[in-house]
Chains A and B, each alone.
Chain A
Amino acid sequence: MTAGTDRPAGVLTVRVEDPSTFLAHTLPVEVRDAGHRLVAAGSGGWTGPVAPGLYSIVLMGPAGVRLTHLAHVGAGEETAVVLEPSPRVEPPSWPTTAPGTAGGPSAEPEEAAGRPSTSRGLAEAGRAIRPALGPRLLGTERCRVLADDATGWDFVPQRPLDAVPTARFAVGDREWEMSLPLNPAGDDPRLASCRVAVVMESSPVRLQMSFSPERRVATFLEGMRRSRDFGMADAMLPKATELLFWKYQDPPGAVLGGLTLYRLGTLVDRSHWVENLARHAAWIPDGQALLAAVLVLEQDPRRRRHGLDALLAATRHRPLYTDGLSLAMTLLRHWPGDDREEERAAAIERLADLAAYADWNAVNLTTDITPRSTP
């Protein structure tokens, strides 16, 4: 961009700070002038001469939501804007040893591990007190509670996993079952866990899952999925998703990325990656559904059949994400041709009880399991 010629230019410097090197270097930044016209766009920051005046700097933050900072750049002045989206808090008291006994693939820790946390969940700790008659944890499958405080629960997985871990809660007069995106490959609990927080601000009180703050790239995807704001950061989604799989070995995070890419119509060019994901994370049915979504486009009938096999097998288990359930239902309903129609109908019937009672606002599959009186 060029600064105006009638007045001495100023210099605007925008820098993004985040414990994750990947996010700090790739989070998209936009600079808009007083007329809201885009004057510059960058990744992880931007520096350049600008005409004196007012500017808005918009960042797609690490929590997957947009943040805006307004700045006044004077003639001949240098104005620095540092976007540090999350308040820093004390690191959480995680245990030093990983849970479980079985070995797993060694995950490369995200840069955040061992550094001060910028947790949303933990940042909120102390600001709310769970009422005595508030939400209760009723039980867990394939996971255990790592911490239980005033605002929620932290979970870690049993290892190895052969199916999606779940937890059951009572909230008011309802009971809910949540699939939990725990990562058995995370050697450090901080890279394996997730949190279910009590959202006190809502009425009625509800529960919301979030990845542990150290799973920052997964947190970014989760936040973006929750806010439904994909426009600004769609270019970095493929890289973030592949990074989660290959480098951080976080299959639940990678599956969420894959589902987001599918939603945005950009998964089809990544069949090789999807096949790897489905193979290495066979315990996540959503990965099999993603594989089916890619293979349904194949010309080779044997490949399509393989996709349908994967889809039908996936429907025998509880999905991890709401979008995974959604994808499986869509593919079952609209698989081209009459292939195994009865089997597909039976699979729809199996998933229908989840779909009808799913909270479509939740990122992780959350279903109402309140005992129902039979008619």
Chain B
Amino acid sequence: MTLIPGPAFGQPEPVTHAFVVGVSAYPFLDGPQASPFGAAFGMEGLTSAARSASDVAAWLLEEFRKPEAPLATLRVLLSPADGEALHPTVAAALPGPEQATRAAVEAAFEDFAQDCRTHPDNFAFVYIAGHGVQLTTSASVVLLHDFADPSHGAELKGAIDVSQCHHGLSGGGYPNTQVWFADACRQVPEVARRFETLRKALDASKPFGDVEASALILGAGPRESAFADVGGSSIFSQALLWCLRGGAATACPPPATEWYVRAGWLATALKDRIDALTGPHGVQQNVETVGRNAQVVVQRFERAPEAEVEVALKPEDAQPLPTAHLALDARVPVPLHPGWPLRERLPAGMYLLRVDAEAPLTPWTAILDVKPPAFRHVAVVGS
């Protein structure tokens, strides 16, 4: 049993149905159960794919907000590595352990697809993490727990072809809006080459569909560094949750006062965020977007999300101490805590900063475009 009921379980449709898979443990790739076929790939188990998936699942349960389609069902299949801690909310909510094997994933996916199909205005959310093979710029296969099980033969049976499953739900009464994420750890070319001609991955393919908007966002990170925090979570999942928590939010068109995260901008923000996370380490993680995606609303906020704002002073020891004035839209004064650097928690928006300084210092004026979750600025009043 993999089903976790959401707040809207059993409520009238349209609703959101979510499908989350995370595989860290690959018993047939290495270790005592490794099969000759699996061992030949030279791949090891992962340390944080299941944790990453559980973080995303927890976000769906605790933070996902989409009033036009609240969360009704969440299907979660996790294969954690030994000692890998899952998000406590999800660990507590799961009725019992169920490994993300081909059979389990296939059965859960069929149930998920059936639920999705009950109303065209349902919303489908899919996140799949594990060892992956980026076959093309628009196709990704993620290996499941029982990949290389000797009973499968030398085939890709223990795997899910994410892009073809995405295609499979792109028409024929499936939800008009969907978002899919594949968080895959990339293989070295010599290994990837061996996957090119393998077949029989889980594939719900039909040629092409007619749903209005369905984004597939593929992340393929360097082999181990995609899961940089050992025992932590993948860079892709960290960036995704950063975006969903407001990093990729923008205001709805007036007269609405809400904010939302849409898939079109999410893909761009994800890449920027991943670049920011991986840049200092000199590694590169690919992010690709496939499908019509601009109109897919993934997350809504009742009001402008807040950001941690910090404004530092340069020089730090400027004397006499300059005075700061901050005004939303250059007209609504914002009360500030005394002292430098300024540290405030403010709603996203544009503020006019004016720093009054006495000679020999120079005054400073700037427009601050504050976006969540954090904003930094330096007010320069002297050399």
Which residues in A have some Cβ–Cβ distance to B below 8 Å?
32-39, 52-56, 68, 70-72, 203-204, 227-231, 234, 263-266, 268, 296-297, 322-323, 325-327, 329-330, 333-334, 336, 345, 348-349, 352-353, 355-357, 360-361, 368, 372
Q: Establish whether residues A265 and B291, one from each chain, have CB atoms under 8 Å apart when the complex forms.
A: yes
**Binding stretch for chain A, among B73-81, B223-231, B348-356:** B348-356
Supposing A54-B329, A72-B330, A265-B291 touch, asked if A349 and B197 sit within 8 A by C-beta, the answer is yes
B111 CB within 8 Å of chain A = no
Number of A-B contacts (CB under 8 A): 145
CB distance from B324 to the nearest CB of A (A): 17
Q: Which of B183-220 contact A (CB under 8 A)?
A: 189-190, 192-193, 196-197, 205, 207-208, 220
Residues from chain A with Cβ under 8 Å of B262 in the complex = 231
Residue of A nearest to B263 (CB): A231
Residues from chain B with Cβ under 8 Å of A55 in the complex = 350
Supposing A39-B254, A268-B208, A325-B136 touch, asked if A34 and B193 sit within 8 A by C-beta, the answer is no
Question: Could you list 16 further interchain pairs (A-B, Cβ under 8 angstroms) beyond the known A56-B369, A228-B289, A264-B292?
Answer: A34-B328, A34-B329, A34-B350, A36-B350, A54-B329, A54-B350, A72-B330, A228-B287, A263-B291, A296-B207, A297-B207, A326-B137, A326-B138, A327-B136, A330-B163, A360-B134
Q: Establish whether residues B253 and A348, one from each chain, have CB atoms under 8 Å apart when the complex forms.
A: no
Q: Establish whether residues B164 and A264, one from each chain, have CB atoms under 8 Å apart when the complex forms.
A: no
Residues from chain B with Cβ under 8 Å of A361 in the complex = 284, 286
B251 CB within 8 Å of chain A = yes
A228 contacts which of B271, B284, B369 (Cβ < 8 Å)?
A: B271
Q: Can you report 18 residue pairs joining A to B where beta carbons are below 8 Å apart? A: A34-B329, A38-B253, A52-B331, A56-B369, A70-B350, A71-B367, A72-B330, A203-B282, A228-B267, A228-B288, A231-B265, A265-B292, A268-B208, A325-B136, A326-B138, A330-B138, A334-B207, A361-B284
B247 CB within 8 Å of chain A = no
B264 contacts which of A36, A231, A326, A357 (Cβ < 8 Å)?
A: A231
Which 6 interchain pairs have the tightest Cβ spacing? A231-B264, A326-B136, A356-B193, A34-B329, A352-B196, A54-B350
Mask, B247-276, CB within 8 Å of A = 1, is: 000111110010100101101100100000
Q: Establish whether residues B265 and A70, one from each chain, have CB atoms under 8 Å apart when the complex forms.
A: no
Residues from chain B with Cβ under 8 Å of A334 in the complex = 164, 167, 205, 207
Residue of B nearest to A326 (CB): B136
Residues from chain A with Cβ under 8 Å of B284 in the complex = 361
B318 CB within 8 Å of chain A = no
Q: Establish whether residues A36 and B267, one from each chain, have CB atoms under 8 Å apart when the complex forms.
A: no
Q: Establish whether residues B331 and A32, one from each chain, have CB atoms under 8 Å apart when the complex forms.
A: no
Residues from chain A with Cβ under 8 Å of B167 in the complex = 334
Supposing A228-B287, A329-B135, A352-B193 touch, asked if A54 and B352 sit within 8 A by C-beta, the answer is yes
Mask, B326-355, CB within 8 Å of A = 1, is: 001111000000000000000011111000
Which residues in B have some Cβ–Cβ distance to A below 8 Å?
134-139, 163-164, 167, 189-190, 192-193, 196-197, 205, 207-208, 220, 250-254, 257, 259, 262, 264-265, 267-268, 271, 282, 284, 286-294, 304, 328-331, 348-352, 367, 369
Q: Establish whether residues B294 and A231, one from each chain, have CB atoms under 8 Å apart when the complex forms.
A: yes
Q: Establish whether residues B207 and A37, one from each chain, have CB atoms under 8 Å apart when the complex forms.
A: no
Q: Establish whether residues B268 and A228, one from each chain, have CB atoms under 8 Å apart when the complex forms.
A: yes
Residues from chain A with Cβ under 8 Å of B193 in the complex = 352-353, 356-357
Q: Establish whether residues B138 and A263, one from each chain, have CB atoms under 8 Å apart when the complex forms.
A: yes
Give CA–CA (A38, B257) in the complex, Å.
11
Determine chain B's interface SS by DSSP, over half rule: mixed
Question: Max chain B CB contacts within 10 Å: which of A72, A265, A329, A372?
Answer: A265
A322 contacts which of B137, B250, B268, B289 (Cβ < 8 Å)?
A: B137
CB distance from A233 to the nearest CB of B (A): 10
Q: Establish whether residues B250 and A70, one from each chain, have CB atoms under 8 Å apart when the complex forms.
A: no
Residues from chain A with Cβ under 8 Å of B330 in the complex = 34, 52-54, 72
Residues from chain A with Cβ under 8 Å of B135 in the complex = 329, 333, 355
Give CA–CA (A323, B139) in the complex, Å.
11
Residues from chain B with Cβ under 8 Å of A345 in the complex = 197
Residues from chain A with Cβ under 8 Å of B254 in the complex = 37-39
Q: Establish whether residues A230 and B289, one from each chain, have CB atoms under 8 Å apart when the complex forms.
A: yes
B251 contacts which of A35, A333, A356 (Cβ < 8 Å)?
A: A35
Give CA–CA (A37, B292) in the complex, Å.
23
Residues from chain A with Cβ under 8 Å of B331 in the complex = 52-53
Q: Establish whether residues B137 and A368, one from each chain, have CB atoms under 8 Å apart when the complex forms.
A: no
Residue of B nearest to A71 (CB): B367
Give CA–CA (A270, B327) in the complex, Å.
51
Give CA–CA (A227, B265) in the complex, Å.
11
Give CA–CA (A35, B257) in the complex, Å.
9
Give CA–CA (A368, B190) in the complex, Å.
11
Q: Establish whether residues A37 and B294, one from each chain, have CB atoms under 8 Å apart when the complex forms.
A: no
Give CA–CA (A306, B293) in the complex, Å.
31
Residue of B nearest to A66 (CB): B268
A36 contacts which of B139, B271, B304 (Cβ < 8 Å)?
A: B304
Q: Establish whether residues A329 and B136, one from each chain, have CB atoms under 8 Å apart when the complex forms.
A: yes
Give CA–CA (A373, B282) in the complex, Å.
27
CB distance from A344 to the nearest CB of B (A): 11
Supposing A35-B349, A360-B134, A360-B286 touch, asked if A348 and B196 sit within 8 A by C-beta, the answer is yes
Q: Establish whether residues B328 and A297, one from each chain, have CB atoms under 8 Å apart when the complex forms.
A: no
Residue of B nearest to A54 (CB): B350
Give CA–CA (A70, B349) in the complex, Å.
12
Give CA–CA (A241, B169) in the complex, Å.
29
Q: Establish whether residues A360 and B220, one from each chain, have CB atoms under 8 Å apart when the complex forms.
A: yes
Residue of B nearest to A324 (CB): B137
Give CA–CA (A18, B164) in the complex, Å.
41
Give CA–CA (A216, B136) in the complex, Å.
28
B139 contacts which of A56, A330, A353 (Cβ < 8 Å)?
A: A330
Give CA–CA (A296, B207) in the complex, Å.
8
CB distance from B38 to the nearest CB of A (A): 18
Residues from chain B with Cβ under 8 Å of A264 in the complex = 291-293
Supposing A36-B348, A263-B290 touch, asked if A355 and B251 sit within 8 A by C-beta, the answer is no
Residues from chain B with Cβ under 8 Å of A227 in the complex = 268, 271
Supposing A203-B282, A231-B294, A361-B284 touch, asked if A70 and B139 sit within 8 A by C-beta, the answer is no
Q: Establish whether residues A70 and B286, one from each chain, have CB atoms under 8 Å apart when the complex forms.
A: no
CB distance from A59 to the nearest CB of B (A): 15
